[in-house]
Amino acid sequence: MIPVNQIKIGMVIKMDSRLYAVLGFSHTKPGKGGAFLRLKLKDVVSGQVVEKTISTDDKVENVYMEERTLVYLYNDGQFLHFMDEQNYEEIEILREDLEDIFFYLKENSTVTASFHEGKIITVTPPNSVILEVVETEPGFKGDTVKAGTKPAKLETGLVVQVPLFIKVGDKVKIDTRTGGYLERV
């Protein structure tokens, strides 16, 4: 248990028997009564963002999260298969549990997994990935002069808006946090 004044952004805490990642907080001292802390939390299991208010006299449980690097092996339709780089153990994760990062995964790409008591809590892709364009409209002469975009389908099935000069076969860097185009590689 730690006092609430030691809470930091990014920390994982346990409240009401649920695990929450701290997204933000503000300390308030009203004229009357005791001070309190307003927390913005993300439930690490469901992904739901909630706000909670707690007294500064309270204590919360700091949760130890073990982070390990996993290598994406393949998709069998229902499960995504990963290999733990520490012990070479194969780990299966339901595809629907990773729907938000599925389109950023290529074979042999790495992700960071957070474990709590031996169970995977979160899987995070790298901040950017390089993917090949497999389908897009052709650009026309003069398109590079104006700033416009067009949809492009990438090798993993992800569709992103790219500049007009991008063509089939180009490799592009995608920001996994926003899902947006960064640059041609």
Domain ranges for the chain: 2-62, 66-124, 128-184
Q: Pick from 68, 181, 165, 60: which is nearest to 115 by CA?
A: 68
Report residue 123's pLDDT band, with 50, 70 and 90 as the boundaries: confident
Burial class (CB in 10 A: 0-12, 13-18, 19+), 166: buried
CA distance 156 to 100: 13
Report which DSSP code applies to 158. Answer: -
At the second CATH level, the architecture of 66-124 is Beta Barrel (2.40)
Phi and psi at 173, nearest 5°, equal: -95, 130
Other C-beta atoms closer than 10 Å to the C-beta of 9 total: 10
Structure tokens at 55: 């007294």
CA distance 154 to 113: 25
pLDDT in tens, 7-29: 887 788 888 888 888 888 888 88
Structure tokens at 178: 């926003």
pTM: 0.71
pLDDT in tens, 26-80: 888 887 878 888 888 888 777 788 898 888 888 888 888 888 999 999 999 899 9
**CATH classification for the domain delimited by 2-62, as one of 3.40.50.300, 2.60.15.10, 2.60.120.10, 2.30.30.30:** 2.30.30.30
